[in-house]
């Protein structure tokens, strides 16, 4: 296949960016989207031109590092799929594909398609944990957790922290990301002692980072590569209300 | 140099307790006066940094990714072993210890492995307390499964994402310490050198991957938890940014590198689809419980699988190993697949694959049961290959998955450089020549949560550590060394792509230092590697500038190190004229083609000392004593 690419190039955080046209020849349908970009980059590097910067690591859909908007959709057209697992057989010969970085105020562009997502780390640092030091944990089986609860907590815990939810949201809200962690820990008995302080601190931090709020469009759920359900946001809201009305 | 593993005296089950009592402690008020540098934030690094922060040390934590949560431990699927014996099926600390020593083909250190088995039970408790959502039974107790051919059910798991959940647990503990300011986090930093002052590890030099700045950090001890070196083969199941640079540069500063030739090849990966391939994807080996492995009997048979009648198929594992059949260990399954491909009976376009067929299992159990057991794996396979394994057999082929070798460490996890400690996959200690399934996660967390918090205290309490700052001459020298390598890479301006050279290195390694090795192939590799290294340093093209994000420059640095390290790996494989675990020397096999160990001559850890690029390294031997588990020949017939 031969594809026309329009790729966002931006030299640095302060520079203006623009879409630059490239052609990808001999694209095999078995390539992943990132392997197609590797081949384009290999051509650029061999001729002494700067490679297109983009993030990726595990390339099997679990590390959450890859972060491309393909034809306007974070992670591209396949549901429940990170862009590293998107394959070129999804496209046709002669297609034009536009590739852009995540766009959100809290995720500034570092270079080309690479953005800074450290805001997510700071949101987790604000409260996305259970305060237990190493050493004092009781035997694992002294805490009984019904299978159903463990499974629901695991559904939320599956979040890979890629930020597609933020990129898809017109408000650049981090609600799906935050609510996945808050749900996981609020559902489990181990997380209950800190449930109020956790939700309060994480939401305050997200506000401080410049993430927007939620207006229930559901774009986040639609693009989430792990298909984290929006019901997590409802649970987070309940947790928040509960925290506000509980005695301090 | 005399290698002293510093194994405590006494019976094996008392060594660690006794050692914990004998080690020096640091007064709680004094801990914050010590700065500990931790490089890497996978299971070992994140758990170490978090635990040391909790104890009150001043911790500096570094990772190459944009967030510590992305380290490659996240991709581990299967589970984590622990000798809890929750299933009442006869497990014990001693049995886990025994299985691990035997599984490692008697090339690991008994005392370390025993401690690992002891600590395994604490890991589960700690992770549960952190909120790791392990699989549960209906009554609310933790669920276990049997994994990798183990005869007891001791594997704890969180669906097929155990590594992810354990890492996120460690990451949340780490971020909690970042919030308290006990840990300072430095993301997107790549360690480029280890700094020694008066012979002790006192700091690191790294490149800020965003600004390009060469930065210096001083401390009282350095911990490397930077993972394995599987990507020396180019294609592997490792993440594309995994690399040997931190370990290799520490090696060049004096840390011995142990058993680099012990590499693990996983038998069930999705085969290579073309030249463009950037990594390989693992399919859990649980598939071999129900899938039957076969190839056509006739060479060069290009018919599609459904056109090949039953009597023209060779179910070679069932034929050769009637008692274990399709469930033979990883190394045996992998080697046999390669033999079939070498014999011209491989399948698929490349001929580098064998079938894993579920037809009989689907007929016996029905598609619903198969879907319940393997649905997510079948889905992943279809996603990548566009073939439906419910209808046509899967094509699988072995791939590099884990590296048992690593920097040599003593019982305290300290390398031969005082103050430099090495944890997790980056060290060599616990898996011998072959790692058992669900043991990597166990080792990473044991090292980080439960070993290093004690041994680092002993080190800083018993070592004179005068204050060192980053304007010390040693820092200046290391920084200028890192800087000049960057300048050199950018000034070559050749015609070869970095990836192209890495791919070529991978081909040399896979063909000649891969699943089966012999003297001729290893000598061939030892000739080819220096030539390719020379080609790299004269003709590679590294575009861009040093003063901003430059992924080509990062990659070139890593490939440059692999071109040196590969030679050591091949050299170690050449010197070890025996077969053991993942290291199969064709000259050393039983009459029926199985791996043959040579305990008389090779029952030792080979720890190599760097003497210069392209120069023969010096071998130091740590003899292995087996007091508890007596070496026997493995047999799966």
Question: What is the rounded radius of gyration, in angstroms, for the C-alpha atoms of chain B?
Answer: 24
Dist. CA A55–CA A66, nearest whole Å: 5
Which residues does chain B have within 8 Å of residue A47's beta carbon, measured at their own beta carbons?
541
Dist. CA A59–CA A85, nearest whole Å: 7
The answer to whether the Cβ–Cβ distance between B176 and A190 falls below 8 Å is no
Domain final residue, candidates A111, A131, A148: A111
Helices B473-492 and B551-575 pack at an angle, to 10 degrees, of 100
**β partners of residue B206:** B191, B215
- Which parts of chain A sit beneath pLDDT 70? 247-248
Residue matched to tokens 């944890």: B423
Q: What is each CA distance from B520 to B460, B503, B512, B517, in whole angstroms?
A: 48, 22, 9, 8
Q: Are strands B263-269 and B394-403 parallel, antiparallel or unpaired?
A: antiparallel
Which residues does chain B have within 8 Å of residue A85's beta carbon, measured at their own beta carbons?
383-384
Burial class (CB in 10 A: 0-12, 13-18, 19+), B472: middle
Q: Write down the H helix ranges in B87-225.
A: 93-103, 110-130, 162-179
Q: Give B451→chain A minimum CA distance, Å.
A: 12
Q: pLDDT of B216-244, one tens digit each?
A: 999 999 999 999 999 999 999 999 999 99
pLDDT of residue B145: 87
Q: Does A215 touch chain B (CB under 8 A)?
A: no
Which residue on chain A is closest to B163 by alpha carbon?
A62
Three-state DSSP class for B31?
helix
Q: Does B568 touch chain A (CB under 8 A)?
A: no
* ipTM higher than the 0.90 cut: yes
Q: Does A4 touch chain B (CB under 8 A)?
A: no
**Fold (CATH) for B266-400:** Flavocytochrome C3; Chain A, domain 1 (3.90.700)
Q: What is each CA distance from A172 to A167, A207, B360, in whole angstroms?
A: 6, 11, 50
Tell me the DSSP string of chain A: --EEEEEEE-SSTTS--EEEEEEE-S--TTSBHHHHHHHHHHHHHHTTPPPPP---SSSSSSS----EEETTEET-SSTT--GGG-BGGGS-TT-EEEEEE---TTS-EEETTEE--HHHHHHHHHH-S----TT-PPPGGGS---HHHHHHHHHHHT-----HHHHH-TT-B-HHHHHHHHHHHHHSGGGGGGHHHHHHHHHHHHHHHT-B---S--HHHHH-TT---THHHHHHHHHHHHHHHS--
pLDDT of residue B310: 95
Number of Cβ within 10 Å of residue B476's Cβ equals: 14
The answer to whether the Cβ–Cβ distance between A42 and B50 falls below 8 Å is no
Pair of tokens at residue B158: 């969180």
In three-state form (DSSP H/G/I as H, E/B as E, the rest C), the secondary structure along A139-162 is CHHHCCCCHHHHHHHHHHHCCCCC
DSSP B351: S
The answer to whether the Cβ–Cβ distance between B128 and A137 falls below 8 Å is yes
pLDDT of residue B374: 87
Q: What is each CA distance from B365 to B288, B290, B315, B599, in whole angstroms?
A: 15, 10, 20, 45
Give kind and range of the element (H or E) at residue B605. strand B604-609
Phi, psi of B610 (to 5 degrees): -75, 135
Pair of tokens at residue B172: 């949340």
pLDDT of residue B372: 80
> In terms of residue numbers, what domain contains A8?
3-111
Do A138 and A233 belong together in one domain?
yes
Q: What is each CA distance from B169 to A205, B74, B155, in whole angstroms?
A: 20, 11, 18
Domain final residue, candidates A111, A128, A159: A111
What's the CATH number where A166 sits?
1.10.1060.10
Phi, psi of B300 (to 5 degrees): 60, 25
Number of structural domains chain A divides into? 2
Q: Which of residues 435-454 of B touch A (CB under 8 A)?
A: 449-450, 453
pLDDT of residue A247: 64
The answer to whether the Cβ–Cβ distance between A154 and B386 falls below 8 Å is no
Taking the alpha carbons at both ends of chain B, their separation in whole angstroms is: 43
Give kind and range of the element (H or E) at residue B372. helix B367-385
Do A99 and A128 belong together in one domain?
no
pTM (2 d.p.) = 0.97
Helices A231-245 and A175-187 pack at an angle, to 10 degrees, of 70
Report domain extents, chain B: 266-400, 473-602
Which of B40, B57, B172 should one mutate to test binding to chain A, selecting the residue with the greatest count of A CBs within 10 A?
Answer: B172
Query: b/e per residue, A226-247, with b = 16+ CB within 10 A?
Result: bebbbebbebbbebbeebeeee
Q: Are strands B292-296 and B80-81 parallel, antiparallel or unpaired?
A: unpaired
Phi, psi of B386 (to 5 degrees): 65, 25
Q: Does B490 touch chain A (CB under 8 A)?
A: no
Q: pLDDT of B195-211, one tens digit each?
A: 999 999 999 999 999 99
Do residues A55 and A43 touch, judged by C-beta distance below 8 A?
A: no
Do residues B513 and B583 touch, judged by C-beta distance below 8 A?
A: no
Query: b/e per residue, B162-181, with b = 16+ CB within 10 A?
Result: bbbbbbbbbbbbbbbbbbee
Q: Which of residues 530-559 of B touch A (CB under 8 A)?
A: 541-544, 548-552
Which residues does chain A have within 8 Å of residue B497's beta carbon, measured at their own beta carbons?
42, 45-46
Phi, psi of B142 (to 5 degrees): -70, 140
Three-state DSSP class for B491?
helix
Do residues A63 and A83 touch, judged by C-beta distance below 8 A?
A: no
Same topology between domain B266-400 and domain B473-602: no
- Which parts of chain B sit beneath pLDDT 50? none
Which residues does chain A have within 8 Å of residue B128's beta carbon, measured at their own beta carbons?
137, 140, 143, 190
Q: Give A245→chain B minimum CA distance, Å.
A: 25
Q: Does A117 touch chain B (CB under 8 A)?
A: yes
> ∠ CA B574-B579-B583 to the nearest 5 degrees?
70
Give which of A38, A149, A166 is closest to A106, Cα–Cα.
A166
DSSP B142: B
Give which of B610, B600, B559 is closest to B577, Cα–Cα.
B600
The answer to whether the Cβ–Cβ distance between B140 and A145 falls below 8 Å is yes
Which of A35, A140, A194, A205 should one mutate to test binding to chain B, selecting the residue with the greatest count of B CBs within 10 A?
Answer: A140
Domain final residue, candidates A70, A87, A111: A111
The answer to whether the Cβ–Cβ distance between A65 and B70 falls below 8 Å is yes
Which residues are within 8 A (CB) of B466 and not within 5 positions of it... i.e. 6 or more apart? none
- Return left, alpha or beta for A135; rule: phi > 0 is left, psi -120 to 50 is alpha, else beta: left
**Fold (CATH) for B473-602:** Methane Monooxygenase Hydroxylase; Chain G, domain 1 (1.20.58)
Dist. CA B41–CA B241, nearest whole Å: 14
Which residues does chain A have within 8 Å of residue B124's beta carbon, measured at their own beta carbons?
140
């Amino acid at each position: 296949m031969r594809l026309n690419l329009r790729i966002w190039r931006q030299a640095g955080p302060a520079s203006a960016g623009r879409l630059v046209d490239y052609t990808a020849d001999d694209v095999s349908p078995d390539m992943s989207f990132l392997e197609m970009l590797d081949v384009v980059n290999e051509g650029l590097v061999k001729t002494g031109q700067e490679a297109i910067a983009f993030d990726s690591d595990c390339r099997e859909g679990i590390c959450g590092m890859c972060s491309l908007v393909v034809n306007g959709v974070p992670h591209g057209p396949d549901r429940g799929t990170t862009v590293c697992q998107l394959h070129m057989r999804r496209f046709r010969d002669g297609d034009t594909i536009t590739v852009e970085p995540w766009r959100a105020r809290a995720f500034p562009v570092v270079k080309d398609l690479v953005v800074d997502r450290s805001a997510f780390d700071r949101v987790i640092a604000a409260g996305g944990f259970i305060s237990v030091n190493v050493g004092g944990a009781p035997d694992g089986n002294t805490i009984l957790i019904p299978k159903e609860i463990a499974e629901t907590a695991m559904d939320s815990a599956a979040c890979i922290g890629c930020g597609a939810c933020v990129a898809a949201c017109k408000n650049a809200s981090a609600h799906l990301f935050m609510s996945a962690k808050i749900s996981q820990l609020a559902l489990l008995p181990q997380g209950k002692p800190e449930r109020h302080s956790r939700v309060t601190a994480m939401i305050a931090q997200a506000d401080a980072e410049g993430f927007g709020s939620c207006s229930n469009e559901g774009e986040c759920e639609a693009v989430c590569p792990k298909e984290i359900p929006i019901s997590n946001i409802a649970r987070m809201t309940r947790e928040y209300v509960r925290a506000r009305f509980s005695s301090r | 140099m005399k290698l002293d593993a510093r194994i405590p005296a006494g019976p094996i089950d008392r060594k660690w307790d006794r050692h914990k009592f004998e080690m020096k402690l640091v007064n709680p008020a004094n801990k914050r006066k010590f700065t500990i540098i931790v490089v890497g934030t996978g299971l070992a690094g994140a758990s170490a940094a978090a635990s040391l922060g909790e104890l009150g040390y001043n911790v500096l934590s570094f990772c190459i990714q944009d967030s510590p949560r992305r380290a490659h431990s996240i991709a581990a699927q299967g589970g984590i072993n622990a000798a809890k014996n929750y299933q009442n099926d006869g497990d014990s600390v001693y049995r886990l210890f025994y299985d691990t020593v035997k599984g490692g083909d008697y090339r690991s250190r008994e005392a370390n492995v025993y401690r690992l088995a002891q600590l395994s039970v604490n890991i589960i408790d700690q992770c549960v307390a952190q909120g790791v959502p392990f699989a549960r039974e209906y009554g609310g107790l933790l669920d276990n499964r049997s994994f990798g051919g183990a005869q007891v059910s001791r594997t704890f798991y969180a669906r097929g994402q155990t590594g992810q959940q354990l890492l996120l647990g460690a990451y949340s503990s780490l971020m909690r310490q970042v919030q308290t300011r006990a840990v300072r986090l430095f993301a997107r930093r790549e360690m480029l050198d280890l700094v020694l002052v008066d012979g002790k590890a006192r700091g690191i030099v790294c490149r800020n991957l965003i600004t390009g700045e060469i930065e210096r950090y001083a401390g009282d001890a350095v911990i490397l938890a930077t993972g394995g070196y599987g990507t020396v083969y180019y294609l592997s199941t490792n993440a594309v940014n995994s690399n040997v640079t931190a370990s290799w540069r520490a090696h060049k500063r004096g840390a011995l590198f142990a058993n680099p030739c012990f590499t693990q090849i996983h038998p069930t990966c999705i085969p290579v689809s073309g030249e463009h391939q950037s990594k390989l994807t693992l399919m859990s080996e649980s598939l071999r419980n129900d899938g039957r492995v076969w190839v056509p009997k006739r060479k060069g048979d290009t018919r599609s699988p459904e056109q090949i009648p039953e009597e023209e198929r060779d179910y070679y594992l069932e034929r050769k190993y009637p008692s274990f059949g399709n469930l033979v260990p990883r190394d045996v399954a992998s080697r046999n697949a390669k033999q079939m491909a070498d014999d011209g009976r491989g399948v698929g376009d490349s001929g580098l694959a064998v079938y894993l067929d579920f037809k009989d299992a689907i007929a016996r159990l029905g598609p619903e049961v198969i879907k319940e057991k393997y649905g997510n794996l079948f889905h992943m396979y279809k996603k990548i290959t566009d073939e439906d394994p419910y209808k046509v057999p899967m094509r699988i082929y072995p791939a590099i998955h884990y590296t048992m070798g690593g920097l040599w460490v003593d019982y305290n996890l300290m390398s031969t450089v005082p103050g430099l400690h090495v944890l997790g996959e980056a060290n060599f200690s616990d898996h011998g020549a072959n790692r058992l399934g669900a043991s990597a996660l166990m080792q990473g967390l044991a090292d980080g949560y439960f070993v290093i918090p004690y041994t680092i205290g002993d080190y800083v309490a018993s070592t004179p550590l005068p204050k060192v700052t980053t304007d010390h001459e040693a820092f200046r020298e290391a920084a200028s060394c890192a800087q000049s390598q960057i300048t050199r890479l950018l000034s070559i301006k050749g015609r070869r792509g970095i990836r192209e050279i890495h791919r070529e290195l991978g081909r040399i390694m896979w063909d000649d230092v891969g699943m089966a090795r012999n003297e001729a192939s290893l000598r061939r590799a030892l000739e080819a590697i220096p030539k390719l290294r020379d080609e790299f340093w004269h003709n590679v093209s590294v575009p861009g500038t040093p003063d901003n994000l430059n992924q080509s420059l990062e990659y070139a640095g890593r490939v440059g190190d692999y071109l040196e390290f590969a030679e050591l790996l091949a050299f170690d494989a050449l010197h070890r004229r025996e077969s053991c675990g993942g290291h199969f020397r064709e000259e050393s096999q039983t009459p029926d083609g199985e791996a043959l160990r040579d305990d008389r001559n090779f029952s030792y850890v080979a720890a190599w000392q760097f003497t210069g690029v392209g120069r023969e390294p010096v071998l130091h031997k740590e003899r292995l004593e087996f007091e508890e588990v007596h070496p026997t020949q493995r047999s799966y017939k």
